[in-house]
Structure formats: structure tokens, C-alpha cells
A and B are shown apart, each in its own frame.
Chain A
């Protein structure tokens, strides 16, 4: 009997259905969908207007759908790097404290399941929702592009987009884990939501200013880069820019010796990945560390305050 029903997946299933029915989630999805459609529409109209100048093989049209825009609406990658964290925080900020306050936490973990099932199912459930959402959004954009442009994407383009979508999920998962961590630390959902949002705001708005102030004194480009890359937003922006803009050859300053003799062409996927490798590992590590912290906190926390 127990082989048939696996409690962990029952819990994950419940998490997913709870998220999907939640108004908070529905509103955010509507917001993301609207902005995406808006941004894609502007990009497509630009592409249409300039159709004559475009030759499909070399210009990575589909990647441009994700990165270009006129100035009315930001491009898709900016939108997602802005709204993604909000989505992650929204899915995570009351994961534990709401259940605790509702009185469902002690009831659920008094069932014959290991205690970590609870926190793991929270993570896996929300992550599944994020994956489905991000991928359906990304593929929707791709599909719209095919409908509109009429040229299928090249394999390289397609792979780049898939990898981009995977890392978007991981990036959102970082904020999800941050939200979950705060939901364990703080008893009130409002407090944990505000703290997670404060961190998000700090990194999106104030952190670059802070870096400018610090490096303004020493005026070192390297230092500025190193400091900037502490911010997960910056890491993600660089990572996605490299992935979706094959013509980018370096993320730092290049000396004249390095540029000398270089062929001004685009990089193959493998080279782009290599260029962004430190970012990939850093982002993965940040996400996993954040989950690790929330896991340990949850396992050590007393059920009762």
C-alpha cells in the first residue's frame, strides 16, 4: 500500500494546487503575462518594420525577441529579471509562518513523514510552478515569433533560449529560497514579505549606487565588477546577456593585446557558456546555499516558540 502513495509527492501536489489557486499568484502571472505580451509585441513590430534589412541566418532574430525593444517597454530579459524575484518572493514568503499561524504545521508534521518533507515539498512545489510558468512563457514567446516571423529558430538559438529559461528558473528559485528562509525566521508573514522585498529592492536599486560610491573613490573597474557581482541581479543580468547576445566576447575590460587579431564574429554556444560559467556556478551556489540555510533553520526550529 505504501508503495502506491508517496506522501512526499502528495505534499508537492498540494503545494502546487495551493499556489495555482492563490490570488496572489494569479495576479502576478497576469502582470507578467501582460508585460511579456506588450514587450514582445513591440519587438515584433520593430522586426516587421525592418524586415528588409534582416537576413535570417546571422542575426539571431529569436534572441533579439528576448533582448531588444524600443524605449516604450523594457525587453523580456529585463522584465523577467525584475518581475522574477517578485514571483519567487511571492511564492515563498509565507511558506512556513503562514502554516504555523494557521495551525496546519504541527498537524502535518505529526503525520508519519520525515520532518524535512515539509520544507522540501515547499521548495519542490514552488519550483515546479516556477518552471512551468517560465517555460510556458518562454515557449509562448518563441511560438509567437514563429507565427509572426515565419522562420524557424536555429538549433543554437533554441538551445540558448532553453538554457536562458533554465537559469531564469534558478534565479527565481534563489528569491524563492530567500522568501522561505525569511518565512522561517519571522513569525509574521508581513514581516517576512517586507524583509525579502527590502533585500530585492536593495539589490535592484541601491546596490549599484553603493558600488558607484565605493569605486568612485578608488576608480578601479575590476573592483567595481567584483562588488557588482555580489548582487544576484547583476549576476543574472550578465549571465542572460551573454547567453542571449552571442556577439558579447567578454564581461570585463579587454586590453588591446586581447582584442588584437580577434575576428569580429559571434561566439558559439559552448564559448558563451564558458564565458558565463562563473556566473552559472555562482548563481547555482547562491540558490543552494539559501535553501541549505532555510533547511537547517527549519529542522532546528522548535515547533512551538
Chain B
């Protein structure tokens, strides 16, 4: 039985008349990387702020490692590192100074803070910039400094709000790898919010899809895809030299294949995804030369679109 580090029960948050979070429920287990995905304005940041006790819920409870975020925010904040989406640092301080300041706010004495700050700056790859003022940092560097800032208190839980925003693609990959490594090495529970599924799918153990303040689906990516697209058809493309009419007819006879089209030396086959090996076999049996066989899986984009469109269309 996994230990849940974050438990959200029936969370409701209203801003005036606008309901930002609507009866939200989910749990995050220890050591897990959980991706909270949703379009802008879905209530991700609001949910995060209530977890940290920075915002009071209208209804419902949030527990972090058993502590109630609303009534015991200090205990929660002691074990939780939070990287806000619009993270920033004092421009006229060096990266090292910023980290030491955060460490001291966590009650770590200066000498010890300097030591662990230097170590962390190496971890996030900022050791060369540590004595430069943060005003000169690029967005990617700020984000990495933010990660170091989160880690300096040696947290058990890390909450990252849109951590990849504004970083270039290579930087994003590096940044996410860093998060995954840290989580796996130290057993830190990570909650990651994002509106870009592609980026986070790689490192998340589980994702929850949040639209209009409601959690529409939850699970790992494959589960989500299976649940959604089990009965849906995939498109399989095969590049074959010397396509014959017999081959096409043979393929059309298969029960799991609905349609076969020819486009030059390309066969476009609609059918169930299990049929892929059969196609390869058939092509070879009919003396075709198979150059390439590709299978277009329903991925995150489709999942995302499905939910977001559903979210918009149904309600």
C-alpha cells in the first residue's frame, strides 16, 4: 500500500463568483512524479496554492504528509519546496546569495547554507554563474536557480508550477531530466503542473487532467490512451515496392482491417493496432519489399484534445 504524500479531498475554491477548482479529488504517492495537466486557467495554480496553505479553500481539505495545509501551513511548507510559475529573484543579488537567503529562511545557518548552496548550484549547472547577479540570468538559468532554491531546504515534496515555461526545447529536456534524476535519487515526491503534455509525459509516472477545475481523468499515459482509444482505429502506413492488387485484396479480407488505400508505393491501412505484424507478414508473403512500416499511435496530443474538447463541448 503506497503512502500518499498529498491528499486532496473535495477541494472547492471560488474567486468571487468564479469557481476555479470544483470538487477536486486526487492523491499523490510517495516518490511519485505526478503531472497535473490542463489548459491555462484550469485551476492548476489555485490547487497548488491551497496545498501550500497560501490560499484558503472554500470547501474541502488538503493534506500534505498528513498535515492539514490550511491549519498547519508551516509544517507543510517546511517539507515542501515550491517553484512558482512566475519565479523570480532579486536582480541585484547573486545566485548564491539568493539560495543562502532561502536556506536561512528555513532556519539553516549561514555557513551550512553556503556549502549546500554551492553543491546545488553544481547540480543544476550554474556553478559558473553563481557569483553573477540574477538580473543577468537567462530565463532558463532563472528556472534552474529556482529548482536549486526549491531543493535547498531538502524537501520531501517538490511542487513545480509550469516549470518549463519560457525555456528553449533543449533546456526543457535537460531540466526535466534533472527533475527526474533528483526525484529518483532522493525519493522526492514531485507534483508538476503544465499545459504542455509532450514535455512532461516523459518523466511523469502518472498524470491527472484538470479542465475547468475538475479532474477529468487520471492514470499513466498508456492507461489513459488505452481507456480512450481501445476501440478506436489506428492508421498504419507501409512503404512497399511492387504493390499488387492481390496484396491489397488479401489485406482487405482481414477482419481487423477496415480500409486499404494506395498512394504511390505507400499503403495506408486503417484498422486495429494489433494488426501491424500481420501486415508485415502478408506483404512479405506476396513478394512485396517492405521498406518501412509505421504505426500512428494515439498519443498525448489526441488524449489532450479529446479531453479538452470534451471539457469544452459537454458542459
Interface set of A (CB-CB < 8 Å, partner B):
1-2, 4-5, 7, 10-11, 14, 18, 21, 102-104, 106-115, 302-304
Q: Are B105 and A111 in contact (CB under 8 A)?
A: yes
Min CB–CB distance A36 → chain B (angstroms): 28
Min CB–CB distance A262 → chain B (angstroms): 59
Does B82 have its Cβ within 8 Å of any Cβ on chain A? yes
Min CB–CB distance B130 → chain A (angstroms): 18
Q: Are B88 and A104 in contact (CB under 8 A)?
A: yes
Q: Are A109 and B54 in contact (CB under 8 A)?
A: yes
Nearest to A111 among chain B residues (CB) is: B105
Known: A110-B84, A111-B153, A302-B15. A10 touches B109 (CB 8 A): no
Contact of B77 among A103, A111, A303 (CB under 8 A): A111
Does B298 have its Cβ within 8 Å of any Cβ on chain A? no
Known: A1-B107, A107-B82. A114 touches B74 (CB 8 A): yes
Q: Are B78 and A112 in contact (CB under 8 A)?
A: yes
Q: Are B106 and A111 in contact (CB under 8 A)?
A: yes
What CA separation (Å) do A107 and B87 show in the bound complex? 7
Counting residue pairs across A and B whose Cβ atoms lie within 8 Å, the total is 84
Neighbouring A residues of B74 by C-beta, 8 Å: 112-114
Neighbouring B residues of A107 by C-beta, 8 Å: 82-84, 87-89, 102, 146, 149
Min CB–CB distance B185 → chain A (angstroms): 23
Per the 8 Å Cβ criterion, residues 207-248 of B in contact with A are none
- Flag B75-104 by CB within 8 Å of A: 1 or 0 each: 101101011101111111000000001101
Q: Are A104 and B89 in contact (CB under 8 A)?
A: yes
Per the 8 Å Cβ criterion, residues 44-92 of B in contact with A are 45-46, 49, 52, 54-55, 74-75, 77-78, 80, 82-84, 86-92
Q: Are A110 and B108 in contact (CB under 8 A)?
A: no
- What are 20 A-B pairs at a CB distance below 8 A? A1-B109, A2-B107, A7-B105, A10-B104, A102-B88, A102-B89, A107-B87, A107-B149, A110-B52, A110-B80, A110-B82, A111-B77, A111-B106, A112-B107, A113-B74, A113-B105, A114-B74, A115-B54, A302-B15, A304-B45
Neighbouring B residues of A302 by C-beta, 8 Å: 15, 55
What CA separation (Å) do A152 and B124 show in the bound complex? 62
Q: Are A303 and B108 in contact (CB under 8 A)?
A: no
Q: Are A4 and B109 in contact (CB under 8 A)?
A: yes
What CA separation (Å) do A109 and B73 show in the bound complex? 11
What CA separation (Å) do A112 and B75 show in the bound complex? 7
Q: Are A106 and B102 in contact (CB under 8 A)?
A: no
Neighbouring A residues of B110 by C-beta, 8 Å: 5
What CA separation (Å) do A303 and B92 show in the bound complex? 24
Q: Are B101 and A10 in contact (CB under 8 A)?
A: yes
What CA separation (Å) do A113 and B91 show in the bound complex? 23
Q: Are B49 and A112 in contact (CB under 8 A)?
A: no
Q: Are B55 and A303 in contact (CB under 8 A)?
A: yes
Min CB–CB distance A189 → chain B (angstroms): 14
Known: A111-B153, A304-B55. A103 touches B88 (CB 8 A): yes
Min CB–CB distance B224 → chain A (angstroms): 29
Q: Are A5 and B109 in contact (CB under 8 A)?
A: yes
Known: A106-B82, A111-B153. A11 touches B90 (CB 8 A): no
Identify which of A102, A110, A302 gathers the most chain B CB atoms within 10 Å of its CB: A110
